[in-house]
Structure formats: structure tokens, C-alpha cells
Amino acid sequence: MEALAPGKSAPDFALDTLDGKKFSLQDALDRGPVVAAFFKVSCPTCQYTFPYLERLYKAYGNKNVILVGVSQNDKKDTAAFVREYGITFPILLDDIRTYSVSNAFGLTNVPTIFWIARDGEIEICSVGWVKNDFEQINRKMAEAAEAAQAPVFQPGEEVTDFRAG
């Protein structure tokens, strides 16, 4: 089984956030598109990707687009990851006994990032680190936030085109 492809409907889900709140995909979609980034704290490609996702969050906040991480780890390990990598966007906790949400999305690798349109359709599914996909997500977030596109990569910063998840 592979991750759900563009054109498929995202499965609805509700999960607890790291800070104990409830997150519902349907409620979030009522406010705008959702970027859902699935990860595992021990994954080197996730460790590479999440600081760039944080830059997107800093650039656009959750203005007309919601960015969330979906952790495949327990609360303690996830909290340590969030602190270590300076993540401030909402982090959701998948059930580590069943991985029900990860499985519903057909995950085989992390990170996997989905752009979910307001109608629930998956428009982007990016597995691992794919710089072109990330740039496309940046464009879509800027458009949704009705903001100028933020430069996510710094001048002189070496950013690889691809890293397997």
C-alpha cells in the first residue's frame, strides 16, 4: 500500500494535540486547506524537514491554511523533538498502538506531507524530502494566506533536492 495520491479524499480524523487540545480535520478544513506532515522523531529526513516547515509556519501562521505535524511517537518523545527543533506549529499524536491515522493515509515512509484542499481532496502527497514539492507547498500556503511568497531557503544555504524518507 502506498500513501494516498493526489485526487483521493483525505480520511477524516480527530487527534489530541501535544498540548492536550482536540484537533479535527473537518473542523480545520472549515477554516482553510490543511498541510499535514507525518513524522517519527528518530527519522533523519524528518529532522531535516521540520525546521523548514517551521519557517513556513513562521511566514504564514495558520492564516487561511492550517499546518500540523502528526507524530508517530509518544507524547514524551514528541515533546523532546519539538523542543530540540524549535517547532511551534500544532503537533498531533497518532495512536502509537494502532497508527490509525497514519494507516488511513497509507503511510509507508516518513516524512510524508499532504496538502489537503478545503473540499477534503488531497492535492499534494510528498514522501521524504522533495524540494520541488516543498516549494509548491510554499506557493500554495502564500496564496491561501493572501501573502507574498516567503523565502524559505536562505542565501548560501545548501538545500538538497531529495532525501529518501
The tally of domains found in the chain comes to 1
**Do the domain assignments include residue 68?**
yes
Where does the pLDDT of residue 18 fall: very low under 50, low under 70, confident under 90, or very high at 90 and above?
A: very high
**Do the domain assignments include residue 59?**
yes
CB 25 within 8 A of CB 116: yes
Residue 2, pLDDT score:
74
Does residue 62 have a pLDDT over 90?
no
Instruction: Give dist(CA 101, CA 66) in Å, integer.
Output: 17
Tens of pLDDT, residues 97-154: 999 999 999 999 999 999 999 999 999 999 999 999 999 999 999 999 999 999 999 9
111-136 burial string, b = 16+ CB within 10 Å, else e? bbbbbbbeebebbbbbbbbbbebbee
**Do the domain assignments include residue 107?**
yes
At 130 the three-state DSSP class reads strand
What's the pTM? 0.97
Domain extent at residue 97: 30-121+137-148
**Do the domain assignments include residue 128?**
no
- All three cell numbers of 124: 499534494
Q: Residue 18: what are its φ and ψ, rounded to 5°?
A: -60, -35
Here the CATH number for the domain that contains residue 35 is 3.40.30.10
**Do the domain assignments include residue 65?**
yes
With pLDDT > 90 as the criterion, what percentage of the chain qualifies?
96
- Residue owning grid cell 493526489: 6
**Do the domain assignments include residue 19?**
no
**Do the domain assignments include residue 104?**
yes
